[in-house]
A and B are shown apart, each in its own frame.
Chain A
Amino acid sequence: MQLNPSEISDLIKKKIENFDAHLEAHTEGTVVSVTDGIVRVHGLSEAMQGEMLEFPGGSYGMALNLERDSVGVVMLGAYQHISEGDTVKCTGRILEVPVGEALLGRVVDALGNPIDGKGAIETEVSSPIEKIAPGVIARQSVDQPVQLGLKAIDSMIPVGRGQRELIIGDRQTGKTAIAIDAIINQKGTGIKCIYVAIGQKRSSIANVVRKLEEHGAMEHTIIVVASASESAALQFIAPYTGCSMGEYFRDKGEDALIIYDDLTKQAWAYRQISLLLRRPPGREAYPGDVFYIHSRLLERAARINAVEVEKLTNGQVKGKTGSLTALPIIETQGGDVSAFVPTNVISITDGQIFLETGLFNSGIRPAVNAGLSVSRVGGAAQTKIIKKLGGGIRLDLAQFRELAAFAQFASDLDESTRKQIERGRRVTELMKQNQYAPMSVAEMSVSLYAANTGFLDDLDVKKVRDFEAALLSFMRAEESDLMAKINEKGDFSDEIKDGIHNAIERFIKTSSW
């Protein structure tokens, strides 16, 4: 379909008609030096902290260092064409990005520009990237669950809507895999997802996009990309961009989930910018406010009450609370969780999911260390059925860990110890889950019930997963009503309990695995 030339001229004519050429007053400055993406500008006496400054050639920079007679500006984008003596203009706007529903399903860069080749994004609303987190009165406590779809996490380390749960581990332990499974599992729940990729390889990000498209998860996801080849300034602001996009949904009374992958690289980018701006380095050469960059980001992930939502939407949305759940990811070196940045972020978040290389290599994937992982919201954010069944799992695994050393001498022990070890082995095996296969609440409940009631105790450990797979396909085929009922309400009434129990007994009698 060809573009009609008259259509184009009509469009332009309309834009020109609405053009109001007003007298423009702004402040100007002159470039004094350009080094490594940092530009020093003389003048600009009215520059604000974090303001966008316009450079010749359409480049923009962010004013970060406000000194007596000059401003230290970090360039967002190309700066090779800028030379000493160039004029710099204030725009009067703090750095802002487009937000709204039009961004769902798109891949954008840290400034909100689309990079997926699917055309321009039409949004009406822009939001500054730096906003103050909701106050104490505006918040409501977390009591609704976010189902990540992973048995190990939803049963023992549950995440609620509005919580911040840190995913921490060494490289190649499955941190991004948990994040992607979480996004895939939000399909149909009404939770919008935002995946912020900071400092990653573009090939990895392309893989992520492809996997999400394959599983139909892109339509409720926004992907914000600041890859490794982009400037440190863009890698630094990308999480804030994503957060502003998530806050748009939170302030409308909807729920959103944001994943920062990963914040370690954002801290490195910030360290680079601060050192180039000649700010004094502190521990591990990080600047003094490296805690603040993460705390102000993560504080914006919250659940706000209905009164606040009504205020923010000017009375349009009543009686609904909004939430933004954050899953920040931190990569540790050599399993050292007591390094500077990991300890900072652990103290900010409401719990952590701790992934270990040892567990990963021995085949336990997701490689969650259930002993060290914690969710400070806990049972308040679990559906009733998972809460009841998850308690037993947690106990079995805890007792198994205690006796882990004796597991080698399994034949020389007394009956009860041996039973506990055997049960622990089977539960550990059950907690393993394939990638890109998140489970619904009903499926999880059935698996956990089978473990708790001892149906697995007679099986060979190696057969546990086959048993589970066969059981679940049986339930999906024969007991779809029961499953739908569990998924709908999440209650654990006697009726449902009997339903599951009888179904499993029938399965054992009739099927093979």
Chain B
Amino acid sequence: MAELSTLARPYAEAAFKRAKQTNSVAEWFDVLQFLSTVAQDQDLLAIVGNPGIGKDKIAKLVLDICQDNTHEEAKNLVKLLILNGKFVLLPKIFALYEEYKADDEGYVNVELYSAFPLTKAEQNKYGAMLEKQLHKKVNAVVTVDKSLLGGILAKAGDKVIDGSIRGQIHQLAKRL
């Protein structure tokens, strides 16, 4: 069974390319965010997944819900997803779209874990360090994690940069 990301990728790529063409990246972002929230509603998912109801009926229902918050092309995307039975992928499509958008605008979302709360100055310092490492502007989200004992741990997608005390102790343990 292929991964959800693999299934969602063509849709996300198509949406992003179209958004770039029509210069409406931010609008598409909002629309997809809205659709992603809608697609996580359990009752709606139950109806969409029901094989007894005709596909056009489902499409009409969903489009009614999304009436004012979507534009024409987004409505076409929704219809296509329902037709192919891939409506449930919308949250994944949104996540991938977000990545493409971030990549395009030259910034990356980073989760910063620290043992102690950081001051603004420290946050800026770490941000600058990470920017040098990742060669992109950094959009940091800070969380406090006591188990790190000290230092910071930065996660950007798959990449992890471990400057925490806990990480160093692990390295030492492996060495010994």
Q: Complex formed: what's the CA distance from A14 to B163 in Å?
A: 23
Contact indicator B162/A24 (Cβ below 8 Å) = yes
Q: Complex formed: what's the CA distance from A32 to B157 in Å?
A: 17
Q: Complex formed: what's the CA distance from A70 to B4 in Å?
A: 10
Contact indicator B158/A28 (Cβ below 8 Å) = yes
CB-CB under 8 A from A19, the residues of chain B are 171-172, 175
Stretch at the interface among A38-46, A267-275, A484-492: A38-46
Contact indicator B172/A69 (Cβ below 8 Å) = no
Q: Pick the residue among A21, A43, A45 that contacts B168 (CB under 8 A).
A: A21
Whether A23 sits at the interface, judged by CB under 8 Å, is yes
- Bin chain B's interface residue count: 20 to 34
Contact indicator A69/B167 (Cβ below 8 Å) = no
CB-CB under 8 A from A68, the residues of chain B are 2-3, 5-6, 9
Known: A19-B175, A21-B172, A24-B171. A70 touches B160 (CB 8 A): no
CB-CB under 8 A from B155, the residues of chain A are 28
Whether B121 sits at the interface, judged by CB under 8 Å, is no
Q: Which A15-34 residues sit within 8 Å CB-CB of chain B?
A: 15-16, 19, 21, 23-29, 32
How many chain A residues have a CB neighbour from B under 8 Å? Answer: 23
Contact indicator A28/B160 (Cβ below 8 Å) = yes
CB-CB nearest in chain A for B151: A23
Contact indicator A23/B157 (Cβ below 8 Å) = no
Q: Pick the residue among B9, B158, B163 that contacts A23 (CB under 8 A).
A: B163
Whether A136 sits at the interface, judged by CB under 8 Å, is no
Whether A12 sits at the interface, judged by CB under 8 Å, is yes
Whether B67 sits at the interface, judged by CB under 8 Å, is no
Q: Complex formed: what's the CA distance from A457 to B131 in Å?
A: 90
Q: Complex formed: what's the CA distance from A271 to B159 in Å?
A: 33
**Shortest Cβ distance from B147 into chain A, in angstroms?**
14
**Shortest Cβ distance from B174 into chain A, in angstroms?**
9
Taken residue by residue from 146 to 176, chain B's Cβ proximity to chain A (1 for < 8 Å, 0 otherwise) reads as 0000000001011111110001100110011
CB-CB under 8 A from A89, the residues of chain B are 160
CB-CB under 8 A from A42, the residues of chain B are 3
CB-CB under 8 A from B9, the residues of chain A are 68
**Which applies to chain B's interface (DSSP): helix, strand, loop or mixed?**
mixed
CB-CB under 8 A from A29, the residues of chain B are 158
Q: Complex formed: what's the CA distance from A43 to B160 in Å?
A: 12
**Shortest Cβ distance from B155 into chain A, in angstroms?**
8
CB-CB under 8 A from B157, the residues of chain A are 45
CB-CB nearest in chain A for B162: A24
CB-CB nearest in chain A for B133: A25
Q: Complex formed: what's the CA distance from A27 to B161 in Å?
A: 9
Q: Pick the residue among A12, A27, A67 that contacts B158 (CB under 8 A).
A: A27
Q: Complex formed: what's the CA distance from A362 to B160 in Å?
A: 67
CB-CB nearest in chain B for A12: B176
CB-CB under 8 A from B167, the residues of chain A are 24
Q: Complex formed: what's the CA distance from A332 to B73 in Å?
A: 64
Q: Pick the residue among B3, B161, B172 that contacts A25 (CB under 8 A).
A: B161
**Shortest Cβ distance from A478 into chain B, in angstroms?**
64
Q: Pick the residue among A16, A27, A32 that contacts B159 (CB under 8 A).
A: A27
CB-CB under 8 A from B6, the residues of chain A are 67-69
Q: Pick the residue among A15, A24, A69, A70 that contacts B175 (CB under 8 A).
A: A15
Known: A25-B160, A27-B159. A70 touches B176 (CB 8 A): no
Q: Complex formed: what's the CA distance from A32 to B159 in Å?
A: 18
Contact indicator B158/A15 (Cβ below 8 Å) = no
Contact indicator B161/A69 (Cβ below 8 Å) = no
List residues of chain B with CB under 8 Å of any chain A CB.
2-3, 5-6, 9, 133, 155, 157-163, 167-168, 171-172, 175-176
15 A-B pairs besides A25-B159, A28-B159 with CB distance below 8 A are A12-B176, A16-B172, A21-B171, A21-B172, A25-B162, A26-B160, A27-B158, A32-B3, A42-B3, A46-B159, A67-B3, A67-B6, A68-B3, A68-B6, A69-B6
List residues of chain A with CB under 8 Å of any chain B CB.
12, 15-16, 19, 21, 23-29, 32, 42-46, 67-70, 89
Write 24 A-B pairs (CB below 8 A) sorted by A numbering.
A12-B176, A15-B176, A19-B172, A19-B175, A21-B172, A24-B161, A24-B162, A24-B171, A25-B160, A26-B159, A26-B160, A26-B162, A27-B159, A32-B3, A42-B3, A43-B158, A45-B157, A45-B158, A46-B159, A67-B3, A68-B3, A68-B5, A68-B6, A70-B3
